[in-house]
A = this chain, B = another copy of it.
Amino acid sequence: MKNICLILEYLGTNYCGFQRQKNGLSIQEVLENTLKDVTGEDIKTYPSGRTDAGVHALGQVVNFFTSSTITPEKFSVVLNLKLPLDIRVKNSFEVDQNFNSRKSAISKTYIYKIYNGKVLGAFDVGRCLFCGYKLDLNKMNEACKLIEGEHDFSSFVATNATTKTTIRTIYKAELRKDGEYLTFSVTGNGFLYNMVRILVGTLIEIGRGKISLNDLKILLQGNNRQKAGKTVSPDGLYLKEVKYN
């Protein structure tokens, strides 16, 4: 059995997220059905992490085991012929037997796109958050600096989430402005459920002056979900890159 790794790009709009669900079409279901179609095998795929309904990926990493005679590099070609156009395999290659997309990852980068102008463009629907508020970018940049480092992110996790530890390390958090667009980029060793979307919701409140930098420092000490910003829409969220040793 070979262990094959895929780099996936997808537009999450039409899917209920990466993970298989009873009541919706997932990326995983489409991908595994397509793998069955091209290999004849029942294949289970392992992603670097789930992405929620409507969340996009520029570089999701998935691995799976197969006895197929399709060469590792050919998988991208044969899968792209059969996959819907909103799910694309950018690359495929063989990896070590003990490689696991999630467990072997050393960091992940998400980006979140915000349109901070007057009218969200026709081409940005489902791909960008519309935020019409006047935002103090200096404060938001200072907030990014505070987010960096090891913290208890329990103020930034969905209330229904269950996880062993809420401690995570953020290696880099930054906000870039390009005309009326803002892109928040965050790299860390792992992310809690809804963490990036709650961080963005909190950054927006900081930009509006509704949450202070001091409030943020307290939030970063943990256990204060109610005082953090709201969970913003999945539309602007993209899993950009996963890194391995």
Chain A residues near B (Cβ < 8 Å)? 9-11, 56, 76, 80, 85-90, 119-123, 125, 127
- The 22 listed contacts between A and B (C-beta, < 8 Å) are A9-B122, A9-B123, A10-B122, A11-B122, A11-B123, A11-B125, A56-B122, A56-B123, A76-B119, A80-B119, A85-B120, A85-B122, A85-B125, A86-B122, A87-B122, A88-B119, A88-B120, A88-B121, A88-B122, A89-B119, A90-B119, A123-B127
User: In the bound complex, what is the Cα–Cα distance between A4 and B80 (angstroms)?
Assistant: 47
User: In the bound complex, what is the Cα–Cα distance between A127 and B86 (angstroms)?
Assistant: 12
Chain B positions within 8 Å of A80 at CB level: 119
Chain B positions within 8 Å of A120 at CB level: 85, 88
Q: Which single residue of chain B is at the shortest CB-CB distance from A88?
A: B122
- Starting from the known contacts A80-B119, A86-B125, A89-B119, 17 additional A-B residue pairs (CB-CB under 8 Å) come to A9-B121, A9-B123, A11-B122, A11-B123, A11-B125, A56-B122, A56-B123, A76-B119, A85-B120, A85-B122, A85-B125, A87-B122, A88-B119, A88-B120, A88-B121, A90-B119, A123-B127
A-B interface, 9 closest residue pairs, ranked by CB to CB distance from nearest: A85-B125, A11-B122, A9-B122, A86-B122, A88-B122, A10-B122, A88-B119, A9-B121, A80-B119
Residue from the set A86, A90, A120, A122 with the largest chain B CB neighbour count within 10 Å? A122
User: In the bound complex, what is the Cα–Cα distance between A63 and B122 (angstroms)?
Assistant: 20
User: In the bound complex, what is the Cα–Cα distance between A86 and B127 (angstroms)?
Assistant: 12
User: In the bound complex, what is the Cα–Cα distance between A56 and B125 (angstroms)?
Assistant: 14
User: In the bound complex, what is the Cα–Cα distance between A10 and B9 (angstroms)?
Assistant: 25
Q: Which single residue of chain B is at the shortest CB-CB distance from A130?
A: B85
Residue from the set A76, A119, A125, A127 with the largest chain B CB neighbour count within 10 Å? A119
Q: Which single residue of chain B is at the shortest CB-CB distance from A86?
A: B122
Closest Cβ of chain B: how far from A11's Cβ, in Å? 5
User: In the bound complex, what is the Cα–Cα distance between A154 and B206 (angstroms)?
Assistant: 59
User: In the bound complex, what is the Cα–Cα distance between A230 and B80 (angstroms)?
Assistant: 26
User: In the bound complex, what is the Cα–Cα distance between A80 and B117 (angstroms)?
Assistant: 14
